[in-house]
Amino acid sequence: MKFNLLLLSLLLSIHCLGQDYSYQSDRAFRSPNEFIGYTFVPYKMENPKQGIKSRLGTDDVSFRISRSYLYVNGGQFEGAYNINTINPTEYGFKILHMNARDATIQGHMKVILNRIKQVEALIFRRSQKDPEIIYHIMEIPQDVKQTEKEYFTDINELKLESTSELWGKTVRPFFLNLQKTQNRLREDDDLSISFEEKVTVIDKTKKKKQKKPKKKKKKKGEEESEEGLEEEVMEEVEEVVELVIDTSTIDTAQTDPRKLKIVKEYFCHLRFIQTDDDGDEKEIKKVYRIEKWKERKDEAAKMDEEKYQIEFKSKDVPGGVFYIYLTGHRTISSMEFGGDTYKMRGF
Q: In 3-state terms, what secondary structure has residue 39?
A: strand
Maximum Cα interatomic distance, the chain, rounded to a whole number of Å: 120
Q: CA angle, 68 as apex, 58 and 7 as ends, to 5°?
A: 55
Among 312, 197, 320, 201, residue whose Cα is nearest residue 266: 197
Residues of the chain with pLDDT under 50: 1-18, 225-246
Domain range annotation of the chain: 1-21+142-199+265-347, 27-137, 201-216+231-261
- Residue 343: the pLDDT is 94
- Residue 183: the pLDDT is 87
339: left (phi over 0), alpha (psi -120 to 50) or beta: left
Q: Give residue-wise pLDDT tens across range 163-206.
A: 999 999 999 999 998 878 888 898 888 999 999 999 998 877 66
C-alpha 10/C-alpha 3 separation (Å) is: 10
Q: In 3-state terms, what secondary structure has residue 249?
A: helix
- Residue 16: the pLDDT is 39
Beta bridge partners of 296: 309
Residue 249: what residue type? T
Name the pairing type of β-strands 306-313 and 292-297: antiparallel
- Residue 21: the pLDDT is 93
Q: Give residue-wise pLDDT tens across range 244-299.
A: 444 555 555 556 666 788 899 999 999 998 877 777 888 989 999 999 999 999 99
State pTM to two decimals. 0.74
Q: CA angle, 26 as apex, 346 and 169 as ends, to 5°?
A: 45
CATH number of 27-137: 2.40.128
Q: Phi/psi of residue 2, each to 5°?
A: -60, -40
C-alpha 238/C-alpha 206 separation (Å) is: 10
- Residue 6: the pLDDT is 44
Q: What separation in angstroms does the CA of 191 have from each of 14, 150, 288, 304?
A: 13, 14, 16, 25
- Residue 251: the pLDDT is 57
- Residue 40: the pLDDT is 97
Going through 116-219 in order, the beta strands assigned E by DSSP cover 119-125, 133-136, 170-171, 175-177, 182-184, 192-203, 207-215
The answer to whether the CB of 324 falls within 8 A of the CB of 330 is no
